[in-house]
Structure 1
Amino acid sequence: MLASLERLLRWTTGLLAASALFAIMWLTVVDVTGRRFFSHSVPGGLELTEILMVVVIFGALPLVSWRSEHVVFDSLDAFLGERVKAVQARLVHLICAGTFALLGWLLHTRAQRFAEYGDTTVYLQWSIAPVAWLMAGLLLATALVHLLFVFVEAPAIERGGDAA
């Protein structure tokens, strides 16, 4: 079951983040080429880059959580027993699930306000609400990943190329 969930995350949030990063790369190439050779940049290029960066960052969050690739302070782990570490890990996942769920809810309410007020980007005049709803949904997905790991032990992920 966990393998299926990981595959689902890779093909949804992972592909979303990767596609946005790929789009940023090509947008930058086109923008720089246009500035250099045609003296024109891509109209709204900065806004597009900002939106795509949001997609990269928030799209990667569920996978980062799934693979436990967060920044970790583990100086005391050498002094803790395995049972204490297991309880600590579940407690941390519970706190993270609550925090991400709260942030997702707050962002959802903000997106509602954006939609009600008709807030748009400055240059392209695109609605901001769908981007905020996407961010809220991805935060909720991240919260669900952490909530799952409160009840089920996180899968061991093989890491290649770690420097010692």
Structure 2
Amino acid sequence: MKLYIVDVFGAALRRLSYWFALLGGLIMLSLAITTVVSIIGRTFFGQSVEGDYELTEVGLAISVFLFLPECYLRKGHVIVDLFTSGCHPNTIRLLDNTGHLLFTLVSALFVYRMALSGMESKEYWEQTMILELQIWWVYLVGVVSFSVCTLCGLVQLLSRREDDIYE
């Protein structure tokens, strides 16, 4: 029963992570279009999109946060298997579980620290120079994304089975 609940929750997290990644991709696509329009405007008309650098900076930060859960679930992070290629499957399972535990703990720490930074940013009205965009929204997206990452790490830890195949 425990694994069934973990599997259902894991499937929901995978769908959520997928939609986060799609949203991040749409944001990046809109940033690319904005950049092209700004460059064309600057080159041919002497007028660029006002605050294009700020939009790019904030948009890329949000996109990266939104990509993190999907990247983790797809094992898109860097894995150096030079030292583990000849290891016994149980050793690889132990190292893999240790990695999932560390990732979960670090993600939870990021949730905590980003929440504090976001509250401080909102308290001091931190904003961009030209467009005066409030920066705390970026922290909010980071907190939500790292919360999802933390839950994904927990699901990865709890869904480990003895019959998992490690090649």
Q: Smaller-chain TM-score range?
A: 0.7 to 0.9
Equivalent runs, 1:1-164 vs 2, <5 Å: 1=8, 2-11=10-19, 13-153=20-160
Amino acid in the other structure paired with 2:52:
G
Percent identity between matched residues is 26
Rounded to whole Å, the distance in 2 between the matches of 1:26 and 1:15 is: 16
Q: TM-score, normalised by structure 1?
A: 0.87
The Cα of 1:81 is off from its aligned counterpart by: 0.8
Amino acid in the other structure paired with 1:103:
F
Rounded to whole Å, the distance in 2 between the matches of 1:21 and 1:8 is: 18
* RMSD, aligned α-carbons: 1.7
Amino acid in the other structure paired with 1:5:
L
Q: 1:76-133: CA deviations, max 9, x gaps?
A: 2223111111121111101011001101210110000011111111111111111111
Rounded to whole Å, the distance in 1 between the matches of 2:113 and 2:85 is: 38
User: Does 1 or 2 have the higher relative contact order (CA < 8 Å, sep 6+)?
Assistant: 2
The Cα of 1:18 is off from its aligned counterpart by: 0.8
Q: Secondary structure at the match of 2:14?
A: helix
Unpaired runs of at least 5, structure 1: 157-164
Amino acid in the other structure paired with 2:94:
V
The answer to whether the 8 Å contact 1:16/1:55 transfers is no
The answer to whether the 8 Å contact 2:13/2:148 transfers is no
Q: TM-score, normalised by structure 2?
A: 0.86
